[in-house]
Structure 1
Amino acid sequence: MFPGVVPTPHSMVKLGPDVVNDTTDAYSGYIPVGQIYGFSMMHESGTGGAPKYGVVSQMPVIGKVKNPLVSLGQNRTVNDTAEVGYYKSSLASGVDIEVAATAHAGMYKYFFPSGESSVVVDVSHVLPSFRGLGWGQGYAGGSFELTSDGYTGSGIYNNGWNIAPDWTIYFCGHFDQKPMSMKTFTGHNESLSSYDPTVSTKGTYRQGGVFTFDASKVKSRVGISFISTDKACSNVATEIPKGTKLQTLVKQAQSNWNEQLFQKVTTTETNTTVLTQLYSYLYGMNLLPSNRTGENPLWESTEPYYDDFFTFWDLFRCSTSLWQVLQPTAYEEIIRSLIDTWRHEGWLFDARSSNFNGKTQGGSNADNVLADAYVKGVRGAVNWDDGYAAVKKDAEVTPPNNNDPIAPDASTEEGRGALPDWKEIGYISPNFTRAVSRAVEYAVNDFSVSQIAQGLGLQKDHEKYVERSRNWRKHWNPKQKSLGFSGFMAPRYTKEAGFKNNSFEYPYDPLQCGDCYWDAPYYEDVPWAYSFNAHHDIYHLISLCGGADTFVQRLKTFFKPGIREDNEAYDKTIFNPGNEPAFTTPYLFNFAGRQDLSVKYSRHAALTYYNDGRSGLPGNSDAGAMQTWLLWNMLGLYPITGHTTFLVGSPWFDHVKIDLEGGKALTVTSTGGNRETAYYVQSLKLNGKAWDKSWITWEDVFADGGRLDFVLGKESVRWAKGALPPSPAS
């Protein structure tokens, strides 16, 4: 996660430390052990793959700097200090650094020991990657010019996880003290010494400037822009005028977060552990994407523009629906931005960073996001005819292959690369990488397309894509067995692969997924997990499993400790709470009439794998995906993306209220329970009336506000005897 300064939800600027230890990728710039080698203006948060950004940097140095091309990294003498809108580091050299920021500008405040000291501005500074996968970022040149009180310039960068081509950021920096001297530098890396952040790029071109001061306190204000140096200078002049105090920016950032987010969720809870988790997770889920409205260098548009989606594969299951609840205005902007990107780039994206699409890990999951927004009533200024055209293109047109070395079979940039198999034979053969996990996701994508088609009155399209959304069934091998159960999602072959057409002849252990990465049949989880993932067609899945009772036993086995040796961090369960494919699985008991077991297993995961300290998440934050899973658990609901359905869990709070804007609110109360031992639902009232279903809809409590009143207790009770949740494709 990024621990530095994010001055407002979805801010473009994320100002904080860059740490290197020459062995570990610092995805967000920060790792606990290593040397700080700069404080830069742009970062991601909570992502894997490979580091991105770490650009527009400053680094304080004691004395004059003879050679800015060598490593200037410093250890820290004490732990860093962070709060919303503020970050501080104390270096072994004796320099203290405080930073604060606004949406498009940042402030550095240096406290130097007596005597001469310098600030090095390294245009070529980026976050390095040590993984050896070819995803390291590159510096492709730029410009650097001195001004009367600082500098202006630009940097051109490329690559990173999404294999982006050249992109440019402009900057404009000022110092509040007159430098004793200032000079520019150019050159090439000279060494591969320990803690050299350019360890894998000896000889890389470098440039920047060195500013030397005879002052104990120096402040610097820096603006950035994707448009021009003039815009960068305008951003810093407007947002951080000369004379602005750092603490003013800190208070402003805290006000931004309170007004835009934190004060929308109020509770009577007094347990500091719970409160720390609640507000930390609200914060963590809103660091990405980046609102770059007015900073789009690629096309002219009056539409909003958001970047740094990393990725919808992580976010579509439960993050995007929570954005709609907590920030409906921003969420509508995000939906409009997605559609506008399609208008100008030709494709929706599953991931996007530095104004470039990629990578697509599975399906075209922006389709799911648009469908979810549509069925839950997002309208406003959204052009849904264009939205439908965008998702239909994903369903019908194969994107050109971008020849990604990690998965050369089809495009990883956008769209559905394995679409030829999907359309021609109705499943995905292992001629394509990630064949089975892609098939599950393509099925969900098609269901999403069908939902928008139905809403727009396109009945033939609706029927076509509902039918195609059932193609996941063609990957179901009823003969595959594991742990006493029959039937699992499996690779299905063609004659071209040397097997009998449509065969399942190649055996596959449902507890294994090979390297579980780009070239495997299953991506980032095992067949057991993916075999539960056709949520739009769950009742057909239950019938394939042998009926509701067998389905319940199968789910129980999924969460049983001691089964999967390679899952030691999670008690050797098959369930991996640190990866998104199993996010929904604890709640699937609701579809089999056992809401009590959904509560049991989801609460166990929440209490066992999450906490309010270090290692407080069970895996990568994944741009806030992990946080939103727990936030839904806290509220006692769980969304089914692309549907209006929310599965009922069990709330953590006696009373919590969510401001839905426009004078509407959702209030959730509970009596008789506690978070750790008495959390089974005994009864539920919806808007003051007794409720006997294990699900509710968007219209029940979100569209116009509403109220859920739970009675909780220690004993499991079969209270939900009403109709089961809907499964439209079954």
Structure 2
Amino acid sequence: MNKYFNIAIVTALSVAITSFKGNAMSDLSQYVDPFIGVDGGGNVFPGPCVPFGMVKVGPDCGGKDWNAGWDRDGNIHGFSNVHVSGTGGGCKYGNVLFAPITGNLDMQDYSSPRNNEHVALGLYEVDLKRYGTSARLTALQRSAMHEYTFPASDDSKIIIDLGSFLSSHERQYLVGSEVRIISDKEIEGYTRVRGGWNIGEPYTVYFYAVFDTPSDDCGTWKSHRVEPGKREQYDTSEPTGAYFSYRTSDKQKVTVKVGISYLSTGKARMNLSEMNSWNFDEVRAACVSRWNEILNKIEVKGSDEQKKIFYTALYHSYLQPVDKTGENSKWISDEPYYDDYYCIWDTFRATHPLFTLLTPSKQVDMLRSLLDIYRYEGYAPDARSGDDNGRVQGGSNVDILFTDAYVKGLKGIDYELALEAMIKNAEVSPGDDERKEGRGGISDYNEKGFVSTKFERAGTRTMEYANCDYAIATLARGLKEKEIAQKYMERSRNWQNLWNPDVESLGFKGFVWPRYSDGSWWSENDYSVFQGGTWPDFVYETFSWELSFYVPHDVNALIEKCGGKEQFTRRLDTYFSHEKWDQRWYMGLFQISNEPGFLTPTLYNYVGRPDKTAEVVRKTLKERYNTTKEGIPGNDDSGSMSSWYVFHALGFYPNTGQDLYLISSPTFEEAVIHLENGRDLSIKAKKASDKNIYVQSVKLNGEPLDACSFKHTDIANGGTLEFVMGSKPSKWGTVGVENQL
């Protein structure tokens, strides 16, 4: 197997890679390792795809709950063409599976142990020990290329299993499938599946595949009944599949091109036209070229290890959502269409702000897509997969994305319609299925000013609804809707209605606490500030000690509730240092592995202690991110963990929904962000190193910056950020951050 770039791909890359400015781009693909974060709960997708690619072709292994298909230990079942990346919970997709085998077809188990597994950007390759076969995979936007190598055999086969999909505790179920062999080199069909993580309605994946080598024989099956020579199996709600047989010489290759669609087999055939070459290296080079367009948005000066972590994180940030424009299975529209928002609860905090900074036109397309979903289905979702909304984890955080775009000056969005969608979220109950869309428990929230424990996730919902209400108020104010702005600004303070000033822990008083419908507090015998939770609980993927910091829109009021700046600083110190739990997963009480704590390290800025922000951020970057298969601290969550890294490595972090970046500690001496409008943002951090983590001074566009924050609008047209770093804390930034409320 070819483990390295060969002459053909280097030549192809040299032709394919051209920059957005017309100059040759750097080949930054060498710094991307798709295996970083596949293990240890990271669940990232290791196979080839392009940015926001609809096709993600990769291995499906034998274990359960491996959301991206890959498993450290399991045998390889085959190579399916549709996956997600970095997600937790139940699986989704794993559809239209191909596998190269030899000998008799064992329908009960045709999986194989693996050997010589290797990945690089745009490439996955592996040997299947059971059969002596090997596979190489690459992909474009809506198509995949499978290159299979066989031993000498009179009975080599490529099988296409339409009854296969990823399995988990939140199951997918086969609804039906169909297959038709068109010729000795062509096949088409579909698989229809329901369920999975979002408990979604059935989705259908259509395919059309063409082989470079005519088969010697073929056949199909239905529900494990193999029928040699039969070319069609119609949909009777049973699993179907097909095989092509070959008499192969040693190391003979058979290449398959697969087009995927969510509309029809005819559309799948059309989608395959994007892959106009049978040369594997050329197709891979085209994939790599697409990625280099994204990776070259940021140039950094650092060590190879730094670059490997950084550019892999940037790569992971652009795997989802999926651009399915023209592939909407529910309605016909000229608007952009994106799917697999999995979930905005994760990605609104860092991933979408990264899109806004680097590729604002893509962010605009996504927001237009979300508005089109609202137009036709009645709710702009917080989560969506398989063309179906669900599941909502906390607030209606799509609200914050609309406001974030507005305050950062993004054009081409119908903000009046966005405000309408946001108010719908805030006022209209989604009905019986409160996990699908909208805001669950709003009858309580709108009447009492908090969500009581009559409803699940009452704490998370109340705190996040308050932030979402602030987003509504901000957009309404910008659109001159004064009464709406005033109403929701008042509601944005509802987080205070769950603040119990009498609860004490570790020497601090006042925490978010559950309340009954009658307004009375739960007893401390019934609840603990350290009690975590998921779907049916008071909090979601957090605990009260952590959630009590989540007031991103009203931090100054939170500081007052905590007893002032000094006491708030002490509380943060305790949060980041108290070793209550296993420190392999926590830093103190801080769990970077879940999103509710994403903003918390930068809260030190609000009390004029950016030195402490720097300490926590640098420690997290150093100890929780690396170049191994476990190099991401928990589920990557559609690039959330990775985009958190990208921002902090550059030295700042967004408070989404506000025109605000909070300064942390830049890790690179030099970085340049090539903005989409053709301007550059130059970031220089003099003396930056593992030792020199503290900001001594900052200049923004040549002017001294005293606050430890700046605005997106300050850099949207390029400019310079100049840091001087040192090994000891300085007096810089003691003025803190101007609150937005």
What are the residue-to-residue correspondences of 1:274-289 with 2, within 5 Å? 274-289=306-321
What is the aligned partner in structure 2 of residue 623 from structure 1? Answer: 638
1:213 and 2:225 matched: no
1:393 and 2:393 matched: no
Separation of aligned partners in 2, 1:26 and 1:461: 45
User: 1:206 offset after TM fit, Å?
Assistant: 1.7
User: 1:506 offset after TM fit, Å?
Assistant: 5.2
User: 1:142 offset after TM fit, Å?
Assistant: 2.0
Instruction: Classify the secondary structure of the residue corresponding to 1:692.
Output: coil
| Contact 1:57–1:123 (CA under 8 A) maintained in structure 2 | yes
Of 197, 221, 233, the residue aligned with 1:161 is: 197
Of 127, 137, 144, the residue aligned with 2:179 is: 144
1:265 and 2:265 matched: no
Q: What whole-Å deviation, never above 9, does each CA across 1:465-490 have from its counterpart, x for those lacking one?
A: 01001001000000000000000000
Of 114, 120, 134, the residue aligned with 2:159 is: 120
Of 21, 43, 52, the residue aligned with 2:92 is: 52
User: 1:519 offset after TM fit, Å?
Assistant: 1.0
Of 550, 554, 559, the residue aligned with 1:533 is: 550
1:82 and 2:119 matched: yes
Instruction: Classify the secondary structure of the residue corresponding to 1:401.
Output: coil
What is the aligned partner in structure 1 of residue 732 from structure 2? Answer: 719
What is the aligned partner in structure 1 of residue 570 from structure 2? Answer: 553
Number of equivalent positions: 684
| Contact 1:180–1:213 (CA under 8 A) maintained in structure 2 | yes
| Contact 1:64–1:212 (CA under 8 A) maintained in structure 2 | no
Instruction: Classify the secondary structure of the residue corresponding to 2:554.
Output: helix
Separation of aligned partners in 1, 2:95 and 2:494: 45
| Contact 1:156–1:167 (CA under 8 A) maintained in structure 2 | yes
Separation of aligned partners in 2, 1:27 and 1:677: 38
Of 515, 528, 542, the residue aligned with 2:559 is: 542
Of 221, 226, 230, the residue aligned with 2:266 is: 230
Separation of aligned partners in 2, 1:82 and 1:183: 32
1:503 and 2:521 matched: yes
Of 149, 161, 169, the residue aligned with 1:111 is: 149
Of 272, 275, 278, the residue aligned with 1:244 is: 278
Of 52, 55, 61, the residue aligned with 1:10 is: 52
| Contact 2:54–2:141 (CA under 8 A) maintained in structure 1 | yes
What are the residue-to-residue correspondences of 1:413-492 with 2, within 5 Å? 413-492=436-515
Instruction: Classify the secondary structure of the residue corresponding to 1:287.
Output: coil
User: 1:384 offset after TM fit, Å?
Assistant: 1.1
Separation of aligned partners in 2, 1:480 and 1:4: 46
Q: What whole-Å deviation, never above 9, does each CA across 1:386-410 have from its counterpart, x for those lacking one?
A: 11111110011110112xxxxxxxx
Separation of aligned partners in 2, 1:507 and 1:648: 41
Amino acid paired to 1:338: L
TM-score calculated relative to the size of structure 2? 0.90
1:364 and 2:396 matched: yes
1:691 and 2:691 matched: no
User: 1:577 offset after TM fit, Å?
Assistant: 1.0
| Contact 1:638–1:646 (CA under 8 A) maintained in structure 2 | yes
| Contact 1:347–1:414 (CA under 8 A) maintained in structure 2 | yes
User: 1:600 offset after TM fit, Å?
Assistant: 1.1
| Contact 1:7–1:256 (CA under 8 A) maintained in structure 2 | no
| Contact 2:177–2:238 (CA under 8 A) maintained in structure 1 | no
Instruction: Classify the secondary structure of the residue corresponding to 2:312.
Output: helix
Separation of aligned partners in 1, 2:81 and 2:629: 25
User: 1:3 offset after TM fit, Å?
Assistant: 4.1
Separation of aligned partners in 2, 1:227 and 1:281: 32
What is the aligned partner in structure 1 of residue 32 from structure 2? Answer: none
Q: What whole-Å deviation, never above 9, does each CA across 1:699-728 have from its counterpart, x for those lacking one?
A: 111x21121100001011121244x32323
Amino acid paired to 1:57: L
| Contact 2:194–2:201 (CA under 8 A) maintained in structure 1 | yes
| Contact 2:48–2:124 (CA under 8 A) maintained in structure 1 | no
Greater Cα offset, 549-558 or 147-156: 147-156
- What is the identity percentage for the equivalent residue pairs of Structure 1 and Structure 2? 36
CA separation of 1:328 and 1:55: change in aligned 2, threshold 3 A:
same
| Contact 1:595–1:718 (CA under 8 A) maintained in structure 2 | no
Of 627, 647, 663, the residue aligned with 1:612 is: 627
1:632 and 2:667 matched: no
User: 1:39 offset after TM fit, Å?
Assistant: 0.3
| Contact 2:175–2:192 (CA under 8 A) maintained in structure 1 | yes
CA separation of 1:637 and 1:681: change in aligned 2, threshold 3 A:
same
Separation of aligned partners in 1, 2:595 and 2:397: 13
Separation of aligned partners in 2, 1:546 and 1:613: 42
| Contact 1:599–1:679 (CA under 8 A) maintained in structure 2 | yes
| Contact 1:188–1:204 (CA under 8 A) maintained in structure 2 | no
Separation of aligned partners in 2, 1:18 and 1:651: 38
Superposition RMSD on alpha carbons, in Å?
Answer: 1.6
TM-score calculated relative to the size of structure 1? 0.92
1:99 and 2:145 matched: no
Separation of aligned partners in 2, 1:187 and 1:533: 51
What are the residue-to-residue correspondences of 1:21-40 with 2, within 5 Å? 21=63, 24-40=64-80
| Contact 1:437–1:522 (CA under 8 A) maintained in structure 2 | yes
Instruction: Classify the secondary structure of the residue corresponding to 2:633.
Output: coil
1:299 and 2:334 matched: no
Instruction: Classify the secondary structure of the residue corresponding to 1:678.
Output: coil
| Contact 1:41–1:57 (CA under 8 A) maintained in structure 2 | yes
| Contact 1:7–1:254 (CA under 8 A) maintained in structure 2 | no
1:331 and 2:363 matched: yes
Amino acid paired to 1:280: T
| Contact 2:609–2:734 (CA under 8 A) maintained in structure 1 | no
Q: What whole-Å deviation, never above 9, does each CA across 1:610-660 have from its counterpart, x for those lacking one?
A: 112221111110110000111111111010011001111111111100011
Amino acid paired to 1:205: E
1:177 and 2:192 matched: no
Instruction: Classify the secondary structure of the residue corresponding to 1:235.
Output: helix
Amino acid paired to 1:681: V
Any gaps of 5 or more consecutive residues in structure 2? 1-42, 227-235
Separation of aligned partners in 1, 2:100 and 2:652: 48
Greater Cα offset, 37-46 or 682-691: 682-691
Amino acid paired to 2:729: S
Separation of aligned partners in 2, 1:652 and 1:443: 34
Greater Cα offset, 331-340 or 608-617: 608-617
Instruction: Classify the secondary structure of the residue corresponding to 1:615.
Output: coil
Q: What whole-Å deviation, never above 9, does each CA across 1:43-97 have from its counterpart, x for those lacking one?
A: 00000011110001101111242x4x3110000023x111111110101121010
Separation of aligned partners in 2, 1:587 and 1:57: 45
Amino acid paired to 2:58: G
Q: What whole-Å deviation, never above 9, does each CA across 1:304-357 have from its counterpart, x for those lacking one?
A: 000001101111111111111111111110111111111011101111000000
What is the aligned partner in structure 2 of residue 256 from structure 1? Answer: 290
Separation of aligned partners in 1, 2:645 and 2:710: 19
What is the aligned partner in structure 1 of residue 590 from structure 2? Answer: 575
Runs of 4 or more off by more than 3 Å in structure 1?
1-7, 501-511
Q: What whole-Å deviation, never above 9, does each CA across 1:541-565 have from its counterpart, x for those lacking one?
A: 1111100000000000001142x23
Separation of aligned partners in 1, 2:341 and 2:587: 32
| Contact 2:96–2:161 (CA under 8 A) maintained in structure 1 | yes
User: 1:693 offset after TM fit, Å?
Assistant: 0.8
| Contact 2:177–2:237 (CA under 8 A) maintained in structure 1 | no
User: 1:494 offset after TM fit, Å?
Assistant: 2.5
| Contact 1:477–1:504 (CA under 8 A) maintained in structure 2 | no
User: 1:571 offset after TM fit, Å?
Assistant: 5.3
CA separation of 1:39 and 1:575: change in aligned 2, threshold 3 A:
same
Separation of aligned partners in 2, 1:592 and 1:517: 31
Separation of aligned partners in 2, 1:70 and 1:189: 11
Separation of aligned partners in 2, 1:666 and 1:568: 37
Separation of aligned partners in 1, 2:605 and 2:357: 23
